Structure formats: C-alpha cells, structure tokens
Amino acid sequence: MVEKQGYACQEHLVTTQDGYILSMQRIPKGQSGEAPDKPPVLLQHGLLMDGITWMLNPPDQSLAFILADNGFDVWLANTRGTKYSRGHKTLSPNKSAYWDWSWDQLVAYDLSATFQYVSDQTGQKLHYVGHSLGTLIALAAFSEKKLVNMLRSAALLSPIAYLNQMSSLLARAAVDIFLAEDLYWLGVDEFDPRGEAVAKLLEDICNKPGIDCTNLMTSFTGQNCCLNSSNVDVFLEHEPQSTATKNLIHIAQMVRNGNIAMFDYDDKDKNMEHYGQPTPPAYNMANIPNDLPLFLSYGGKDMLSDVNDVQVLLDSLKDHDGDKLVVQFREDYAHADFVMAVNAKQAVYDPLMAFFKLQ
C-alpha cells in the first residue's frame, strides 16, 4: 500500500520479550525523496485494526503519508495477532497459548518493544500517535512512568481510557451478553471478526430489539461525518483484523467496572498468583507525568470514546501542566473520522503536526 502510492517502504521485524515477532513498516522519506528533517513518529492503530489504519485514504488525506511529506520519519506498528504480526519464537497462532494475552501484554511488551526499536534505529526520542486502543495502551504505560524517557510527545485520537459511559448499543450488547466470555468458554481463543463463530454471535446480537445492524460500522462507532464510500471499501478489503478473545474480555471488564485495571481472572486465587493481591492492580491516570506533552482530540458523535468518558480522563489530568496539554473537540466527528475523514488533515492532522513542532 505504501509503495503503490510512490513512497519508499522498509520492513522491520521486532521481537517482544515474551517471544512475539511483530512486523513494522517504515516510510523513511516523503514523495520529494528528501531525508527526513524531523524526529521519528510511531503510529499505533486501534482494536481489530492494523497499520493500514493510517493509509486508508489517498496520500494527501492519510496521516502516515502526510507526516512523511512533512519531513517526519514514519513508523507503523502492527499489534500481535494481526495478519502482519503473527510470528512467535515458539508458538503457532493455531495454538491457544499464542492467544493468551490482553491489552496488558500490549502495554508491557508490544509497545515497549516498538518504542525501543524505533529509538535504537534512529537514535532519537519519538513522537507517538495512537487511535482508540492505541491510546489506552499508551496512557496505561505512561501512568506507570514507562516509555516516557524515549518520548517527545503523544497525540491521542479518540482516546479510550474510561469506558463505562460508552453509548454504542452494539458494543454494549456484546458486553451485556458476555459475548467474549462465551467465545472463550467455547474454546475460541482467536477473535476473528471474519470467522464463523463471531458471525454467528453477531447475528444473535443483531436480532435483539433496538439493535440496528444495517450499517455495522455506524452501529459500533457512531455516525461518522466525513467518510467517502471508496475509503470504506479499502477499509473492508483489509480490515477488520483478529485479536485475542481474552483482550475483548478485558475491555468488557472496563465497560462493566468503570475503571482501568489489569485483567481480572475473576478468581481471588488466580489474581493472587498473577498480581500478589486478590484484585487486579489499577492503572492510575493521575500518575501520568504532568510535564509530558499530550495532544488529545475527541469527537462529539463518537460512541466508543464517549464525551463523558473522555471528561473523566480529562478530570484525572487536571494537574497537568497547562502548556503541555492541548485538547481538541470536534463536534461532528465519530470514532473512524479521526483516521478516515476526508477533512481530517485540516481538522486534526495540521494542528497535531503544529503541536509536534513545538515539542
């Protein structure tokens, strides 16, 4: 997808401490062919997505290409389990042990491995851009003071932290009927959105009164304002991607419990075994360093990153240094607009790059 648009592309492999082999792509220069004169930027996609998130539109509307053309050294991450990152030193994706992870492991292993790799390759501190789940894992890491020594600034698009006011009826229905837990008990360790087991469960949800699945994307994300049909076709050609069923259980726990904590084994002894305490440890957002430059952009129509939940996050950042926190609100944006809207360059990416240049 990168080379087809006339950009150079490098393939990199990164091995995490727990043995997963992740593929990363680097766009080392823009179309002008000049070497980048700005720092590296790591782009981290959200749930059920991969690095193609950042290239779904034509180059003049897609963040990966816009950054490259503006002199940044662009790195695309692909989370474990997506089609570009299914390698492992010893496990095959056909084995349930391969899928024994939630976003805790993305915080502890994937994110730190990709940060370290980009930092080692470039010898520089990096900017970070996350969308959706890509914001949650970053916030969780920063709250433990991890990775901040390698970071210049972070841009969080459609930030996910607190989830219990999420207004997506479809996502809520999935949580309410314990969809992920049921799949887990059925032995479905890989949540493959294109697979039979998931299709069957989705059908059950869509038959529930009050749930309208005619446009699945809108039912999940909210009414996106600014997508065009051709980029939706590109999206469907490449996405959605697999994740671990356990990861979805973890996210459902956040919706139900209204907190940001590590995975709950729902068993005091198992929690003791993993954490040395009967309940999972919380990630405390108030512990994010106050001088860490953050750019947050959220939307009024977003049914996953709900404005009320974002407000809870902002409240926990109330002591953040005033000049280090830029908050942008787009009344008309829903969840996918931040990566696919035809006007996102003017609306979000230009302010984001201006923010990066100040750091």
Identify whether the C-beta of residue 19 lies closer than 8 Å to the C-beta of residue 91. Answer: yes
Our CA angle for 190, 192, 195, nearest 5°, is 120
CB-CB neighbours of 209 under 10 Å: 4
Please give the distance of CA 47 from its chain centroid, rounded to a whole number: 6
Is 335 part of the annotated catalytic residue set? Answer: yes
DSSP secondary structure letters along 190-205: EE-TTSHHHHHHHHHH
Please give the distance of CA 72 from its chain centroid, rounded to a whole number: 21
Our CA angle for 267, 269, 274, nearest 5°, is 95
Of residues 302, 306, 309, 337, which has the active-site annotation? Answer: 302
Identify whether the C-beta of residue 66 lies closer than 8 Å to the C-beta of residue 56. Answer: no
DSSP secondary structure letters along 320-343: S-GGGEEEEEETT--TTHHHH-TT
Is 132 part of the annotated catalytic residue set? Answer: yes
Residue 313's closest CA among 332, 302, 291, 298? 298
Of residues 132, 143, 168, 219, which has the active-site annotation? Answer: 132
**Alpha helix segments (H runs only) across the chain:** 63-69, 103-105, 111-122, 133-143, 169-176, 179-185, 196-206, 216-221, 229-238, 245-257, 268-275, 307-316, 337-340, 344, 350-358
Of residues 88, 127, 320, 335, which has the active-site annotation? Answer: 335
| Separation of alpha carbons 350 and 276, rounded Å | 46
Our CA angle for 152, 262, 149, nearest 5°, is 20
Is 302 part of the annotated catalytic residue set? Answer: yes
CB-CB neighbours of 314 under 10 Å: 17
Helix axes 111-122, 133-143, angle to 10 degrees: 80
| Separation of alpha carbons 6 and 329, rounded Å | 33
Three-state DSSP state, 350: helix
Residue 105's closest CA among 74, 141, 76, 135? 141
Catalytic center residues = 132, 302, 335
